[in-house]
Every structure is written in C-alpha cells, then in structure tokens.
Amino acid sequence: MQFRIGFGSALTLAACALTVACGAPSEPVKAPEDSQPVLFPEGMDPDAPQSAGWLGAELALAAPDEPGVRVAAVLPRSPAARAGLQAQDVIMSIDGETMNSPDAVVMKIKGAGAGKRVAFGVRRAGKDRLLAVTLGERPSEGQLVEQAYVGAKAPDFQGLVGVQGQVPASIGGYRGKVVLVEFWADWCMVCRMLVPTMKQWHRRWAGQGVEILAITTDTLDVAVRSSVEQELDYAVAADLHGKTSVAYHAYALPSVFLIDQQGVVRDLMVGFDERKIAELERTVDALLAGAPQAPAAGPEGLAP
C-alpha cells in the first residue's frame, strides 16, 4: 500500500513500507513553507510503469522572467549525474521540444522510456549546451534514498524538540558514536512493528557507544503520549516543522538511518525488512569493532 503526503507543491509518494504496509495518516504531514521541492519527483510516481524513463533530478520553475526548468539538485549515480547535468542548470528543451514546467519535463522523460537516449538543451551560466542523457528505470523509494544518502555525510538536525532522553541540537553532538535515527509516526502501524526491534537494539548496545533517536512529525502532545503508551526507552524528538524529515527525505515510514562515528550514513532501511534489520545489526557490530569503512562521499555525493 502506498499513500501520498503533502510536502509543498511537488508530488510526493510515500511508501509506508517495502514489504509490509501501514494505514494512511489521519493528517497529512506538512513540510515547512520554505522547504525546497521534493527531491527527484519524477521517480516517485507510483502510477508510472516500471519501464518509464527516469532522470534523477529535483526540478523547479525557473525565475519568473526566464524560460526553461531549473535543476535544483541531482541524485548521485543517477542518469542525470552520469550525463553531467548539474544543479542550477536550466533545461530549455528535450529532443527539440521546449520545456517550460517541471511537469512537462517529467512527462517527457517518463514517456521516452527507460534506456532511451535523449538530447537535453541546457543553459548553464548563460551559455547553451547539448547533453546526451540515457534515461534509467525508476528505482524504488528505498533505492532512491540509498543512492542519495549512503556514503554521504548525514544532514544536520533542524529545529528538533526533545520529547524524552538526550536530544542534541545538531548531528555533531553524536560525533564519536554510532547512531540509529528512526523516522516514525504514531499512526504508522509498521512503525509500531519496529518498536520491539528498536528496544532490543537499545538494550543490546547500551553503554557501548550506540545512540538511538526516534524522530516524529507528530505534535508534541501526540509524541509524548505515544512514547509513553509504547514504553519507548530511547531518545525521542519531535520535528514540529518537518525540517529534519525533509532534510533526510523521510517521506516513507518507518525510515532508519545508520550513521557512523564520523557522521557518515553507512546504511538505511525503509519500511520493515527482517533481512535489512540483520544487515544493520552486522554493520553496527562492525563499526563498534573498528572495521574499516569506505570514505565519505565527496562534494558530488560520490566516493572520491
């Protein structure tokens, strides 16, 4: 089962789980008014067939007095990245057809199909150029998040309010520790299924340099009530304005990010997946044992 959550004007698809689904929220989660359009919107459409083309870019309207569609961000290792498309590029045309809205770009890409080579007319720093892009196949939501975050520095926290336990003002407060950050909600039944595992992790690694933080966009009173009701024994924070959830693109619940002692995301899980839970546990044990890890991603999101 999949459901839609309102995150600004862009289309957002949130899968409640990859293998198990939960019910829809009683109230849609809202992103902060100043948030950017959702990342990679053309890859998050559940109605698109698997053979639909996929670019891997965040799109936005160009300035009011300028034509084209602005590229706000590019997903690492995506077709857009491989073709050399960059943030702040302006897409003027695709295969000679003028582009004036993000929706037009999305429909053109999906219609072209995966594996199709298309010509992008791009304006960069005032100069026009032509880029050949081989479109990919739309990844799953979990794959999208993995591509964007695993191996990269974890985004900083923004505006979290402590509900219980020690909640640092920034991700830097966890430096030197392994951190499991879970995004959850009171209404999410799959999140509740994950609670016993989270409690087990807390007992298993308590005092060994592992911290657990559960972040929810529920209101403060709901977060407090739910934490008590579920007897959560680890730190809980309320993301009242949704800024941290947006930074992590945690549109699918539950989402768990495993962050190492240097603040690098080493693995993640979207939904409830017993195989992935076992992988996360092995990675935590390896990090505690001091096993060498791949270097953090470079500026473009790829390992140098």
Domain 2-137 in CATH: superfamily? PDZ domain (2.30.42.10)
The Cα 260–Cα 252 span in angstroms is: 22
Buried b (16+ CB within 10 A) or exposed e, 54-69: bbbbbbbebeeeeebb
Query: Taking the CB of residue 41, how many other CB atoms lie within 10 A of it?
Result: 22
| Spatial CA neighbour of 100 closest among 69, 136, 131 | 69
The Cα 239–Cα 250 span in angstroms is: 12
| Spatial CA neighbour of 301 closest among 264, 255, 269, 274 | 264
Domain edges within the chain:
2-137, 141-288
| Spatial CA neighbour of 183 closest among 34, 5, 304, 53 | 5
The Cα 12–Cα 9 span in angstroms is: 9
The Cα 212–Cα 203 span in angstroms is: 11
- Per-residue pLDDT tens, the chain, 304 aa: give them: 222 233 332 222 233 333 343 433 434 444 444 433 333 344 444 444 458 999 999 999 988 888 999 999 898 889 999 999 999 999 999 999 999 999 999 999 999 999 999 999 999 999 999 999 999 998 887 888 888 899 999 999 999 999 999 999 999 999 999 999 999 999 999 999 999 999 999 999 999 999 999 999 999 999 999 999 999 999 999 999 999 999 999 989 999 999 999 999 999 999 999 999 999 999 999 999 986 665 555 433 332 2
The Cα 40–Cα 85 span in angstroms is: 14
The Cα 148–Cα 267 span in angstroms is: 11
Q: Report the topology of domain 141-288.
A: Glutaredoxin (3.40.30)
Quick check: 132 and 119 in contact, CB under 8 A?
Answer: yes
Beta strand 53-54 pairing with 136-137: antiparallel
Beta strand 255-259 pairing with 265-270: antiparallel
Q: What is the pTM of this model?
A: 0.71
